[in-house]
Amino acid sequence: MFSLFQYDFIVRAFAAGLITAVVAPAIGMFLVVRRYSLMADTLAHVSLVGVAVGLLTNTNPVLGSLIAAVIASIAIEGLRESKKVFGESILALFLSGGLALAVVIVSLGHGFSVNLMSYLFGSITTVSATDISIIAAAGAIILIALAVFYKEFFSVAFNEELSAASGMNVRAYNVALIVLAAVTVSLSMRIVGALLIGALMIIPTVSAIQFKMSFKKTLALSMGFSLFAVISGLFASYYFNLASGGTIVVIALLVFCLSLLANKGLKG
């Protein structure tokens, strides 16, 4: 039945997909509860600058996107703290600014716009062995950081003022979280694509929240939903020749709709 695994590119796509599926909602959970849902999308657009530079200079685009997203994440947090620009406006600045810059760089090097498409919408046929190493290393760093600082991230997410009053370095945890989000965005890009990463980070979390469970259980359930969406999305993408990112997100949305209904059932 699983004859598709005879192809190396499918094995790589699943490896990248599974890592993405676990990591994306883990970081997404902290973004959602802090009302930072748009952060993932913003970082994704900025990371396209790195992809464009990578394609132009013939270096690894995943690595390029990682560098671009991390630099942007630190700049965003710095600007947010300076309070010179509204939080939401900062995201809009970086989101459209990143896309504009990426498009300009792309138009400098004619002829790789087709290649760029795979970074915008995700493609299961293009995950390279190098990509897998980068994705696996980055994924491991994110999960370890989350495991070690889970309690601190929870406390800061629940209430910044309380955390600061008890002597916690709130600023450091904010920067750490957004940098981890930037890394997550870059490693998700191959499978779901830059335009749809935000959805994979956010939708499984808001679906899981409908079930009104503890923070930890909500986190676990969101990973479950995400794994389901990614695995079934990859299968559908292969058998029906669909764009993997779109398929995964549409499945995640279906799960969200069912979760909403279940929530109504729980209340009723």
Partner 1 sequence: MVKKNLAKKKLIELRNVHFSYGDNVVLEDVSFSVNAGDYVGVIGPNGGGKTTLLSIMLGLLKPSSGQVLIFGKKLSDLKRERAHIGYVPQRLSQLDANFPATVYEIVASGRTAGNGPFHVFSKNDKDAVERALAIAKIGELRHKLIGDLSGGERQRVMIARSLAGEPQVLVLDEPTTGVDIASQEQFYHFLAELNHQHGLTIIFVSHDIDIVANEVHSLLLINRKVVSYGPAKDMINKHYLDDLYGGKIDFTFHPHHHH
Encode 170-193: b = buried (16+ Cβ within 10 Å), e = exposed: beebbbbbbbbbbbbbbbbbbbbb
The answer to whether 115 contacts partner 1 (rule: CB under 8 A) is no
Rounded to 5°, the CA angle 22-25-31 comes to 145
Residue span binding partner 1 (CB under 8 A) among the ranges 76-84, 102-110, 152-160, 253-261: 152-160
Residue span binding partner 1 (CB under 8 A) among the ranges 96-104, 136-144, 146-154, 188-196: 146-154
Residues 173-212 that bind partner 1 (CB under 8 A): 209, 212
The answer to whether 241 contacts partner 1 (rule: CB under 8 A) is no
Query: Which tokens sit at 170?
Result: 């709130």
| Alpha carbons 71 and 67: distance in angstroms, whole number | 6
Residue 259 beta carbon to partner 1: minimum distance, rounded to whole angstroms: 13
Q: Specify the residue, 222 or 237, whose C-beta has the smaller distance to partner 1.
A: 222
Categorise residue 243: left if φ over 0, alpha if ψ from -120 to 50, beta otherwise: beta
List the x/- string, 12-41, binding to partner 1 by CB under 8 A: ---------------------x--------
Residue 165 beta carbon to partner 1: minimum distance, rounded to whole angstroms: 4
End-to-end CA distance of the chain: 41
Q: Specify the residue, 83 or 151, whose C-beta has the smaller distance to partner 1.
A: 151
